[in-house]
Amino acid sequence: MDQRRNRGDAVVKVKIYVEGGGESKSLHTKCREGFRKLLEKAGFVGHMPRIIACGSRREAFDDFRTAMMDSGADEYPILLVDSEGSVSSGAWEHLHSRDGWDKPLDAEEDQAHLMVQCMETWCIADRETLRAFFGQHVHEGSLPPDVDLENRAKDDVQNALMQATRQCGRDREYSKGKRSFELLARLNPETLRKLLPHFTHLCDVLNGRL
């Protein structure tokens, strides 16, 4: 159920079309749950946006674009995808330059948001949660310093996270899918706010709409 808050005479329903979950219904559920729990801890309990797990980046954009065409004045769709690279412009300009995606005619600038450069960047920002989640065998020395994280290349971040957790055991090391969304659900949003400007911007926009 969408959570709603009156803003003057309008009732705004926010839906976030997020990259993640692949083609599995069970992973879509885990993806939604991971993002939901993170946003609840970020202060949105009682006025949560609806999380829609879309699968690939392209599927997320296509679903968002359809939502823009079908949504009424009381609905505010948001797109959330990995940036896949460094970001030096607004989200829509970045997506147009990298992917050739055009901003839908009626979309606002703040209806596109980026995980810079990928969801794993959010994960490596929170070292305390990494230690609690993976246990004593996590090798933090394999991770980059927690400064300027959004300028760390996606492949470097993902490889570093896998290297750091390799000794944690086959069933405990980091992997895409169920494991990644379980970690996402445990992250501390206050830590992410301190280290990741694009995460902070997403929360600020949601605060202004919910």
Per-residue pLDDT of the chain (210 residues; tens, 9 = 90+): 344 444 444 567 999 999 998 888 999 999 999 999 999 999 999 889 999 999 999 999 999 999 999 988 889 999 999 999 999 999 999 999 999 999 999 999 999 999 999 999 999 999 999 999 999 889 999 999 999 999 999 999 999 999 999 998 877 889 888 889 999 999 999 999 999 999 999 999 999 887
Report the predicted TM-score, pTM, of the whole model to 2 decimal places: 0.92
Per-residue model confidence (pLDDT) at position 136: 87
What does the block give as tokens for 24? Answer: 């599995």
Q: Are 83 and 63 a contacting pair, CB within 8 Å?
A: no
| Neighbouring residues of 200: CB distance < 8 A, sequence distance ≥ 6 | 192, 193
E-strand ranges in the chain read: 5-7, 10-18, 50-53, 75-82, 112-115
Per-residue model confidence (pLDDT) at position 177: 85
